[in-house]
Amino acid sequence: MEINIKENMNEIGGSFMLSWAIMGGLLSSGAAMMTSGVGIGLVIAVAWMAFAGAHILPMVTWCHMLTGDLADVEGNWMRNGMRLVSQIIGACLAIVLMTEAGDIDTGWAATDMWITEIADEYWSVLAMLAAGAVWWQIHTRCETEWVSAFGLMALGGAMTISGAAEMGASITSMGDGIVDTLVNWICDAAFIGIGALIGVKIDELLPEAGAAEEAAAAE
C-alpha cells in the first residue's frame, strides 16, 4: 500500500488544530466557547478550509469508508484507516505540547463505555443513525465547508464532534481509560457512518427530481 504523505499530514494538522481548541477550552475558563458546539463547528470549518481534503473527524472518515467500495481493502479500508491513525497522532501532538508533556493538568477524565448499555441507549443510537443520514447528504451535496460545519452545529446533539481529542488525551495520560475511550471513539463514529450508508441507500431508492413527471408525460 502506498501511503499518501500529504493526505495524512493534512489529517495530523487538522486534528492538531481541533484538539488544541478543545483541550485549550478545558485548560482556560475564559475559553468555554471553544468547547461548545458552535465553537467546535467554527474550528472545524476553518480547519477543513486550511487542510484541504482532510476529514479531521473520525465520523467523516467512517462515513467515507462505509459509503465507499466496501470490497476495496487497500483503497478504502486501509487508506481511511491511516487517516484515523493520523488524526490520533495530531491530537497527541497537540496535547503533549499544550500540557508540556503532562506537567499541566487538563482536567480531562475518561468516559465510561456506553455500548454495554445499548439496550438503554437505543434512542441515542437511533439519533446518531438519523443524524448521520441527514448530515452526510448535507456534506456531499453542498460544496462549502461552512455549510457542512453548520450542519454539524445543528445536529451536534446527536453526534460526537470532538475528533480524536479523547483518544489523544487517553494515550497521553498513560492509557488512562484507554479501553472505554477506544470503544466509544469507534462506536460514536461508526454509527454515524452506518447512518450515512442508510441515507445513501434511501437516496438511491428515490426517483430523481422530475423523473416521475417525465415518465408520466412519456406515457
Q: What is the mean pLDDT of residues 94-117?
A: 84
Dist CA 167 CA 32 (whole Å):
21
Cell of 35: 468547547
CA 210 vs. chain centroid, Å, equals: 34
Q: Residues 157-173: pLDDT tens digits?
A: 888 887 898 999 999 98
Q: What is the mean pLDDT of residues 120-137?
A: 94
What is the structure's pLDDT at 30? Answer: 47
Q: What is the mean pLDDT of residues 42-58?
A: 92
Q: Give percent above pLDDT 90 in the chain.
A: 57
Confidence of residue 67 (pLDDT cuts 50, 70, 90): very high
Amino acid identity of 79?
Answer: R
What is the structure's pLDDT at 28? Answer: 58
5-218 CATH pick, 3.30.565.10, 1.10.760.10, 1.20.1080.10, 2.60.40.10? 1.20.1080.10
Q: What is the mean pLDDT of residues 49-76?
A: 94
Confidence of residue 33 (pLDDT cuts 50, 70, 90): very low
Q: What mean pLDDT value characterizes the chain?
A: 87
Q: Give percent above pLDDT 70 in the chain.
A: 88
What is the structure's pLDDT at 36? Answer: 61
First to last CA, the chain: 52
Confidence of residue 209 (pLDDT cuts 50, 70, 90): low
pTM: 0.87
Q: Does pLDDT of 219 surpass 90?
A: no
Pair 29, 106: CB distance under 8 Å? no
**pLDDT higher at 211 or 204:** 204
Name the least confident of 8-12, 14-18, 93-97, 174-178.
Answer: 174-178
Pair 85, 182: CB distance under 8 Å? no
Q: Residues 69-78: pLDDT tens digits?
A: 999 999 999 9
Q: What is the mean pLDDT of residues 86-105?
A: 89
Pair 138, 155: CB distance under 8 Å? no
What is the structure's pLDDT at 25? Answer: 65
Q: Does pLDDT of 156 surpass 70?
A: yes
Dist CA 37 CA 208 (whole Å):
34
Q: DSSP letters along 116-183, please?
A: GGTTT-HHHHHHHHHHHHHHHHHHHH---HHHHHHHHHHHGGGS---TTHHHHHHHHTTSTTHHHHHH
